[in-house]
Structure 1
Amino acid sequence: MHAWARRIARDWPPEEVCVTDGWHLGYAGGVTFRANSAVLLDPAAARVETVERFYRERGAPPAVQVWRGMDDLDRNLAARGYTKGRAAMVMVRDIGDVGDSAALAQARVEVASRPDTRWRALWSAEGVDTRVAEGQHRIMDRVPVMGYAVETSGGARGCAAAADGWVGLYNMFTEPKVRGLGLAREIIGALLAWGRDRGAERAYLLVLEDNAAALRAYERAGFSEVDRYHYRVGEP
């Protein structure tokens, strides 16, 4: 299995996983493509019909992650009418020195083991409906070690999963009215420190290629691209 796809599946775990016919198939009630898509394991054994049957039995469109180097898979899916979408990149950085605990204690960010009402309230500001928000919380609840960072006034948030020397940042969001004040940078710093305290040495995040503002913010925070992927999605 592709190394980054494996790490993402661990840190953003589907509710149901099936490994069969050369595929790793994940399903989480249709919430987020990351947890509701197939990853190629064995090109010689893989049949697209297996993917289509798995997802259509669950009322979801068949979706496949296509990583760099999977050109044959990409062409085959395109020929079957699968549309390309949600092109994203993986960005990483060393954690290094992100400040000591005393400095973090004075910052405007709190990191807890559970999301509080301030953290949850930002779903509505982000325009995410209740069903999708609760589905994302079910995914996050399956992560063994997860930290939830929120700016003390509730203007920005993020979360992170820590495992095997890595910390993965997810669900970063800053309320539009307080953007440009450096809150995202503080959320990132707090989550990196949280991960460092749990043995992480490197951090990663995923960002859509067309999200120019987020890309600039992550580059300023020391992240750089290491891989790219997109989805091919068939008819439901």
Structure 2
Amino acid sequence: MSDPNLVLGLESRLINAWPSFDYQTYDGWMLRLAGGYTKRANSATPLVPGAKLDDALIDHMIEQFLQANIRPTFRLNGLQDPGTDEQLKERGFLEVEPTRVLLAPIADDCTPDSDVLLESEVSQRWVQGASHSYGGDKADDAMLIQIASRIRQKAAFATLHLDDRPVGWGLAVAERGYVGLYDIVVAPDLRGIGLGRRVVGSLISWGCREGAHRAYLQVRAENEIAGSLYSTLGFEVAYDYTHRIMPGGA
């Protein structure tokens, strides 16, 4: 079983590093809404050990999601009451996207890659490069820049250049001795040659300069390639979380 204090500490940093537009709190749960862009910013998450749900609370939060035209989603990080997952399952909520939160110590080398540009403010250029390389439901420039512009902690927006071409992107957010890594992505035609490792290394080096002693990130459990990369960089599983979503659209 994961340490509840570690989970809560990382969860609070995750919330600060990836802001939503609307926050609502209910009996140990936080419901976040951000226009449907990424599940972690559009879900109800327990933030108190043993947080419980009853049918009335579930119904109320479902209503809040639907009013925002967002599919009701519960993000279960292990802090919830042990019966919560089965409770949501019985109500028809489907399990999707099991995810791991990984943690690694930071070495003393604080020197970033000279080919990686690190900027303290988000730019339209960074947003376009990152979102277009992601593609799919994350290819939304307007929504990404809205979220990134709301970050109030120290941040670094990384762009890796190869022969003057931008080919890799990533975001780091430093808070209270930790640096979180987000939106690590490489141009689709150049994946598998170590460019992502260079982006990650530079963001960790930036975090080192900001006084961070640990780095954390999130990766889907099914993403074995990314998991293998992060393992070679010293990351280990801190805890797992999963999502329970209501079937159908919002």
Give the corresponding residue for 1:112: 119
Check the 8 A contact 2:13/2:175 in 1, yes or no: no
String of CA shifts for 1:26-45, please: whole Å, max 9, x gaps: 11111111110001343277
Give the corresponding residue for 1:133: 141
Q: In the aligned structure 1, how far is the partner of 2:13 from the partner of 2:117?
A: 26
Partner SS, residue 179 of structure 2: strand
Check the 8 A contact 1:140/1:146 in 2, yes or no: no
CA shift at 1:133, angstroms? 3.1
Corresponding residue to 1:222 among 234, 240, 244: 234
Check the 8 A contact 1:172/1:184 in 2, yes or no: yes
**Any gaps of 5 or more consecutive residues in structure 1?**
none
Check the 8 A contact 2:132/2:139 in 1, yes or no: no
Residue identity opposite 1:79 in structure 2: E
Corresponding residue to 1:158 among 170, 177, 202: 170
Check the 8 A contact 1:118/1:154 in 2, yes or no: no
CA shift at 1:129, angstroms? 5.9
Residue identity opposite 1:177 in structure 2: D
TM-score of the superposition, structure 1-length normalised?
0.89
String of CA shifts for 1:84-123, please: whole Å, max 9, x gaps: 00110000111122343xxx3x632111113452552242
Asked if residue 147 in structure 1 is aligned to residue 153 in structure 2, the reply is: no
Partner SS, residue 227 of structure 2: helix
Corresponding residue to 2:74 among 47, 50, 64: 64
Corresponding residue to 1:86 among 75, 84, 97: 97
Give the corresponding residue for 1:74: 85
Give the corresponding residue for 1:195: 207
- Percentage of identical aligned residues: 28
Q: In the aligned structure 2, how far is the partner of 1:55 from the partner of 1:169?
A: 27
Residues 79 and 129 of structure 1, relative CA distance in 2, 3 Å threshold: closer
Q: In the aligned structure 2, how far is the partner of 1:125 from the partner of 1:44?
A: 38
**Any gaps of 5 or more consecutive residues in structure 2?**
none
More deviation in 57-66 or 43-52? 43-52
Check the 8 A contact 1:123/1:129 in 2, yes or no: no
Aligned residues: 232
TM-score of the superposition, structure 2-length normalised?
0.85
Residues 133 and 86 of structure 1, relative CA distance in 2, 3 Å threshold: farther
